[in-house]
Chain A
Amino acid sequence: LAKTTQPISMDSYEGQEVNITCSHNNIATNDYITWYQQFPSQGPRFIIQGYKTKVTNEVASLFIPADRKSSTLSLPRVSLSDTAVYYCLVGSGEGYQKVTFGTGTKLQVIP
Chain B
Amino acid sequence: KAGVTQTPRYLIKTRGQQVTLSCSPISGHRSVSWYQQTPGQGLQFLFEYFSETQRNKGNFPGRFSGRQFSNSRSEMNVSTLELGDSALYLCASSLEGQINQPQHFGDGTRLSIL
In the bound complex, how far is the Cα of B33 from the Cα of A34, in angstroms?
17
> What number of A residues sit within 8 Å (CB to CB) of B?
25
Q: Is A92 an interface residue (CB 8 A)?
A: yes
Query: Which DSSP category, helix, strand, loop or mixed, fits chain B's interface?
Result: strand
- How near does chain A come to B12, taking the closest CB pair, in angstroms? 16
Q: Cβ of B33 and Cβ of A49 under 8 Å apart? A: no
Q: Cβ of A95 and Cβ of B48 under 8 Å apart? A: yes
Q: Cβ of A34 and Cβ of B99 under 8 Å apart? A: yes
Q: Is A41 an interface residue (CB 8 A)?
A: yes
- How near does chain A come to B49, taking the closest CB pair, in angstroms? 11
Q: Cβ of B48 and Cβ of A96 under 8 Å apart? A: yes
Q: Cβ of A92 and Cβ of B102 under 8 Å apart? A: no
Q: Is B31 an interface residue (CB 8 A)?
A: yes
- Which residues of A in the span 46-90 have a Cβ within 8 Å of any Cβ on B? 46, 49, 87
- Which residues of B in the span 10-51 have a Cβ within 8 Å of any Cβ on A? 31, 33, 42-43, 45, 47-48
Q: Cβ of B92 and Cβ of A96 under 8 Å apart? A: yes
Q: Cβ of A93 and Cβ of B99 under 8 Å apart? A: yes
Q: Cβ of A97 and Cβ of B99 under 8 Å apart? A: no
Contacts of B72 in A (CB 8 A): none
Contacts of A42 in B (CB 8 A): 107-108
- Which residues of B in the span 60-114 have a Cβ within 8 Å of any Cβ on A? 88, 90-92, 94, 96-100, 102-108, 110
- How near does chain B come to A92, taking the closest CB pair, in angstroms? 5
A-B contact pairs, 21 of them (CB 8 A): A31-B99, A32-B99, A41-B108, A41-B110, A44-B90, A49-B102, A92-B99, A93-B99, A94-B55, A94-B56, A94-B96, A94-B98, A95-B31, A95-B99, A96-B94, A96-B99, A97-B33, A97-B57, A101-B42, A101-B43, A104-B42
Binding site for A on B (CB under 8 A): 4, 31, 33, 42-43, 45, 47-48, 55-58, 88, 90-92, 94, 96-100, 102-108, 110
Binding site for B on A (CB under 8 A): 31-32, 34, 41-46, 49, 87, 91-104
